Amino acid sequence: SEYMEKHTVSKLIGSPPGYVGYSDGGTLTEAVRRRPYSLVLFDEVEKAHPDVFNLLLQVLDDGRLTDSKGRTISFANTLVVMTSNLGSRSVQKGATGGFGLGFGTADASDAAEVEYGRLRDLVHEEMKNFFRPEFLNRLDEMVVFRALTKDNVREIAEIEFRKVLARLQEMELDISLSPRFKAKVVEEGFDPAYGARPLRRAISRMLEDTLAEHVLSSLGAADADAAEGAGDAAAAAVAEAPRQAIELDIGEDGKVVLRCGGKVLA
């Protein structure tokens, strides 16, 4: 979306002589010139201005691009990947079972493959209606990703949990997650129509926000004790509280609770 306007195309190859930013070079050409062995990603490429596709035609066909300074930049050792949301409505409809193929007693895996094939054909048709034939003809492969299953989301959640817990360990916070908590996060974050983003929001809300509130409340208690003249020893004791082993769990009411030493923290 950053390159939707015609004048923004110059960002890729550099501003013309006499214009602001000429000495900086282009965002794309300069990056590839400095690192010839690169993976170049164009995210949501369908939103780009048509002039961007004219540049891409040269990159995909000739493997080179000339920047605003007249230098020829080789793309021979780059891997160009483009993502697109074209056909996203078809993907969402297929993810929620909107096609209704009606296989009855047919094998479930065979039915899934047939449904995926139909979905892929619909997406390819939308791409043909949007992109020019000469552009599509220069692509080596078009991949239509399947909707995430609950098992996929569960695996992604474990990866994200490890990332968050690693950051918390750097802050000297000893945090563990109960199986019930993990299952609840996966349940809240699973949406076959929207991929992994709902999971990221669920982790942020249920894990990060909950811990942030706990840490801030502990720091607030430490500040209050210090203000009342309780002394450095008392303030330090309160500050040490967040470093105790804390487990995030799900209470009987279905809400997130923090446990420390078997007791629920307020």
156-160, 178-182, 257-261 — which is least confidently predicted? 257-261
User: Which pLDDT does position 172 carry in this prediction?
Assistant: 81
Portion of the chain with pLDDT greater than 90, in percent: 42
Q: What is the pLDDT of residues 127-150, one digit of tens each?
A: 999 999 999 999 999 998 888 889
pLDDT at 103 over 50: no
Q: What is the DSSP letter of 141?
A: -
Report, as an integer, the average pLDDT of 73-93: 87
Residue type (1 letter), 81: V
pLDDT at 117 over 90: no
pTM: 0.71
- SS3 per residue for 41-110: EECCHHHCCHHHHHHHHHHHHHCEEECCCCCEEECCCCEEEECCCCCHHHHHHHHCCCCCCCCCCCCHHH
Q: What is the pLDDT of residues 202-249, one digit of tens each?
A: 999 999 999 888 877 766 554 445 445 444 544 444 445 445 688 999
User: Which pLDDT does position 105 carry in this prediction?
Assistant: 43
d(CA 123, CA 120) in angstroms, rounded, equals 5
What's the pLDDT band for 112 if we cut at 50, 70, 90?
confident
Residue range(s) of every CATH 1.10.8.60 domain in the chain: 150-264
Q: Which CATH class is domain 150-264?
A: mainly alpha
Residue with tokens 């619909």, as numbered in its chain = 122
d(CA 208, CA 214) in angstroms, rounded, equals 10
